[in-house]
Structure 1
């Protein structure tokens, strides 16, 4: 698809809303501080569209899957709208569309973790132990990922190489998802 203003606006607004929904899901998954001002902003931004879904969808244990489901619906809608605008009709295999949307969401989640890991590394050099809400949230988001990577590569005398493993894993997975993601 060409990069004209309509495509740019639809993709930007759709991806921005998907980002906020995925952040809500990932912060919940990482058990980040709910009372952090940034977390509260994300909850307030997404509460209105998520309320109907939260009534319909059951929780999976303590996990609320409604942000993930709404992100998938928004991604599907965004792709379908762009196809209709540029091809005139939506004669696309729905299963293919759903799979591409899932791959696109997985790619977005990996991108969030990539940038959060990079941010965490930079914060650990510049302002370790910062009390600002943003570094705390980034740290809480990436901490489970770092712990998982440190099981494979333990810290070597104060030098933590786990971010390198995380970056490599993200790049490999994104490389595999690239042909399917839109």
Structure 2
């Protein structure tokens, strides 16, 4: 029963936190709510970000309220994880904080992977889709440096493949560091 409940909580929490991070990133690259992705992200995160904006106003380049909203969601999720699987004892607050930061970073990398996959599929299937320019603008800062190093081969852009491979390596390294980080945080 705990596993099913955790699956539901983790899925909903990670999607909400990732949407908050996407909102912050969209503001960073200058894509507000004037596009379909922005409208969706604002609609599902506004209830959480708006109250935080009173305390943490948006900076010139960083949307602190959206980042904090994602962190709050990951922190609540980490506390729920410990409550469900902690064996009745409360861990050190540092362990819960480290777990929530770890999850936030992991979700950011998965968000990047999803955006790159969507951009690659859209470029093959329907490059003129209304969402395509937004996805391209979100992935461009990550793909541009790779495109300078890896030229198209036979007219095929391999930079999304290289980026996804690099992100997967980062996720693997991050996952291998988790036990050590948790032991350090206790």
- TM-score category of the 2 structures, normalised to the smaller one: 0.7 to 0.9
Where structure 1 has 5 or more consecutive residues not aligned to the other structure, the ranges are none
- Other-structure match for 1:68: 67
Moved over 6 A (4+): none
Map 1:166-177 onto structure 2 (within 5 A): 166-177=163-174
Encode CA deviations 1:63-104: one digit per residue, 9 max, x unaligned: 2121111111111111112212332232x1222221221121
2-side partners of 1:81 and 1:115: how far apart? Answer: 26
Which deviations, in whole Å up to 9, do the C-alpha atoms of 1:21-67 show, x marking residues without a partner?
12212222332353113311211221221122112124342321211
Map of 1:43 onto structure 2: 42
User: In structure 1, how many angstroms separate the alpha carbons of the residues matched to 2:161 and 2:44?
Assistant: 33
Write the distance in 1 (CA, Å) between the matches of 2:114 and 2:37: 17
- Say which SS state the counterpart of residue 34 (structure 2) adopts: coil
**CA distance in 1: counterparts of 2:118 and 2:52, whole angstroms:** 32
**Number of paired residues?**
178
In structure 1, the partner of 2:149 is 152
Aligned to 1:80: 79
Deviation, structure 1 residue 156: 4.9
- SS in structure 2 of the partner of residue 178 of structure 1: helix
Alignment of 1:44-59 (within 5 A): 44-59=43-58
Selected match of 1:162 from 159, 162, 165: 159
Structure that is richer in helix per residue: 2
Moved more, 143-152 or 168-177: 143-152
Q: 1:118/1:77 Cα in 2 relative to 1: closer, same or farther (>3 Å)?
A: same
Conserved 8 A contact 2:28-2:61: no
User: Which residue is equivalent to 2:8?
Assistant: 9
Indicate the residue corresponding to 1:137 in structure 2.
134
Asked if 1:89 is matched to 2:89, the reply is yes
TM superposition score normalised by structure 1: 0.84
Which ranges of structure 2 fall in alignment gaps of 5 or more residues? none
1:108 deviates by 0.7
TM-score by length of 2: 0.83
Q: Specify the alignment match of 1:118 in structure 2.
A: 117
CA contact (8 A) 1:33 1:137 kept: no
